[in-house]
Chains A and B, each alone.
Chain A
Amino acid sequence: MTSNAQTLRTAAERGLIDQYASAKGALPGGDAVAGIRAEAFKGFEARGLPNRRVEEWRYTDLRREIREALPLAEAADPQQARRALASVKDFGEAAGYRVVFVNGLFCADLSELDGLEGVTIASLGAALAEGRPDGLGDLAAKVADPAIGLNTAFMRDGALIRVADGATVDKAIELLHIATGPAAASYMRHVVHVGEGARVRFLDAYEGYESNGYQTNVAVELYAADGADIGWVKLQEEAHDALHISSFLTQLGEKVTFNQFTFTSGARMSRGQAFVTCAGENSTVGLRGTTLINGDQHADITLVVDHAVPNCDSREYFKAVIDDRAKGVFQGRINVHPHAQKTDGQMMTQSLLLSDEAEMAYKPELEIFADDVQCAHGATSGQIDEDLLFYLRARGIPEAEARTMLVLAFLAEAIEEIGEDDVVANLEERARAWLAR
């Protein structure tokens, strides 16, 4: 059987195996890091690229999508990096501090961190050279996922962020990711520690610059200490032929407020997966987002919320607007452990299909082992409501404008839950631009 499986490897899988063999000696980190890389890669070798036979990936077949192993991303020419940075819109005024990554590498000279207090931000690549940073790989090791395995094996740089206990960070910290130069694959890992009672907002932007089919594989490991209040808004506007895979892993202490929002409109194929573990009582989790796709785009949102302790609330609220032949995927899993009583988990997803060929796949999974919990899920999928359209037109609003208004209104219900005016305005403007494309 084993030898048989070997012969079925795709060209891309064979390429990744060769690439790992030749690159591993040069990847940063001492023996401890080399050990977790090797362990992770062994997992990848055993399973191969995720494909439709793997339940968690049944709608997003990377084995078919990835035809060859792209070379590992290298540092960009500094002038080209500046040009790329100047051309993207990112979160603009909503970002108070900015950490810039070009081709997956931390660029200190392009970053703007003046005046940032209570937070230390360093290059993960540099930290790896010194040893294994606290928390690196602990959350990633708990999930047997081939995309995360590849990230651990090849991770080269990223940010190592520590927010001090009790710090209230005055302005949002943006992590801005751009790719430029020849088509390549970048593997980034961010490790974030948020101290007790700290309040911080992150803006995590991936912006397209180069249309050459580049690949982004990013993983975040975020540890939230008791009482932390964390906002995380991700913007995925990669180039339209790019592949984007992101894995967000987080473990929350007691009384944590964690709100994440994901705005997805880029990449030919994307997967945004989040694994959230409530490890302390009385925490509140919000996972929300909007997906706007057209053409032949494929966008997958996969969420796993683990209620490991009692008395936590989780809310999932996703909206998708899908046009042309594009396909959206939403997989939401809520696990409630046997003693996690008084869990309140709610999941809702709604999609607007703007064309006959647009498609949305939805897979809710509730696995509940406690008996005193409230969990619910709901999904709707439909077209623009003709009665609403008629009402707007009867007031003199032309049809095209009325349709735009209704789609924006549909998305705004989710976007406005972010509650930060400048971020909401930025994303609504992007939604408007997408509709006017």
Chain B
Amino acid sequence: MLEIKNLHARIAEDGTEILRGVNLTVNAGEVHAIMGPNGSGKSTLSYILAGKEDYEVTEGEVLFNGENMLEMGPDERAAAGMFLAFQYPIEIPGVATMTFLKTALNAQRKARGEGELATPDFMRLVREKAAQMNITPDMLKRPLNVGFSGGEKKRSEILQMALLEPTLCVLDETDSGLDIDALKVVAEGVNALRSPERAMVVITHYQRLLDHIVPDVVHVLSRGRIVKTGGKELALELEKNGYADYIEAAA
């Protein structure tokens, strides 16, 4: 589903090189975890997959279902099935959460040549998914993410994911800022979306999220390269020994 080949990228503004040859293949039905120390390029990788313009790809390619993803705009990628759960979900004053969800869902449906969802059907769908994420009808009326706690923002991200039903989910440090109860709710939401047709890339610092969302494959990203790949036991090893070995290996 996702093939990243020898991806090199830098910050467009100052030319700082961040990714230095990332190779990664994720198949449908698989959950991959990407772990690594601060500054290793994890978030950059997620932003490049989503299409943020702050980065410049200097070499390599990204194929999504065989198509060159780097030539698509962020909205086209989303309509094609890509979803990024943001590490820091953005507050948008003046846009009600419900309006935003409806606009996003219908824009994607339209881009795929499907008809818009009628309002009653949409409302039913949102209420059902929101209840699963412990999101109250009152939150849906409020401006998007405005005044939401850290946990509410992350739950709102997973609600969007559940509603938009992407085929490729990239979760960027979804565990950051969550207490253990909120983490469980979020992880349950994510696990409910696991399916043979859907691939997930879970980016995290810590092993603790992977106790709840158990990955098939774990990668270590360091200094812009994947330096080690293993099974879920690799995460436990990292938890015990830290990233020091890999930082040296990459250097």
Contacts and interface: CB of A to CB of B under 8 A. Distances in A.
B107 interface: yes
Interface stretch (B84-92, B125-133, B178-186, B193-201): B84-92
B92 A388 contact: yes
B182 to A, nearest CB: 21
Contacts of A388: 90, 92
B78 A394 contact: yes
B213 to A, nearest CB: 21
A143 interface: no
Interface stretch (A132-140, A180-188, A397-405): A397-405
B19 interface: no
A391 B107 CA distance: 14
User: Interface size for chain A: under 10, 10 to 19, 20 to 34, or 35 or more residues?
Assistant: 20 to 34
Interface in B145-187: 160, 164
B98 to A, nearest CB: 13
Nearest to B84: A394
B100 to A, nearest CB: 8
A430 interface: no
A392 B50 CA distance: 11
B74 interface: yes
B191 interface: no
Interface in A213-271: none
Q: Could you say which of A395, A402, A409 has the most chain B C-beta atoms within 10 Å of its C-beta?
A: A395
A413 B94 contact: yes
B107 A412 contact: no
B28 interface: no
Contacts of B84: 394
B95 to A, nearest CB: 5
B92 A399 contact: no
A393 B86 CA distance: 13
B95 A405 contact: yes
A409 B107 contact: no
B94 to A, nearest CB: 3
A112 to B, nearest CB: 34
A101 B195 CA distance: 67
Contacts, number: 76
B52 interface: yes
Contacts of A409: 92-95, 143
B111 to A, nearest CB: 7
A411 B160 CA distance: 25
A410 interface: yes
A55 interface: no
Contact of B104 (A396, A406, A410): A396
A421 interface: no
A401 B103 CA distance: 9
Given A390-B52, A405-B103, A397 B92 contact: no
A414 to B, nearest CB: 9
Contacts of A410: 94
B74 A390 contact: yes
Contact of A399 (B75, B104, B164): B75
A94 interface: no
B86 A391 contact: yes
B103 A391 contact: no
B63 to A, nearest CB: 19
A397 B93 contact: no
A396 B86 contact: no
B94 A394 contact: no
Nearest to A393: B74
B191 to A, nearest CB: 22
A411 to B, nearest CB: 8
5 contacts: A391-B92, A393-B51, A398-B73, A401-B103, A409-B143
Interface of A: 386-388, 390-399, 401-402, 405-406, 408-413
Interface of B: 50-53, 73-75, 77-79, 83-84, 86, 89-90, 92-95, 100, 103-105, 107-108, 111, 143, 160, 164
Closest 7 CB pairs of A and B: A409-B94, A396-B78, A396-B108, A393-B74, A395-B104, A391-B90, A393-B75
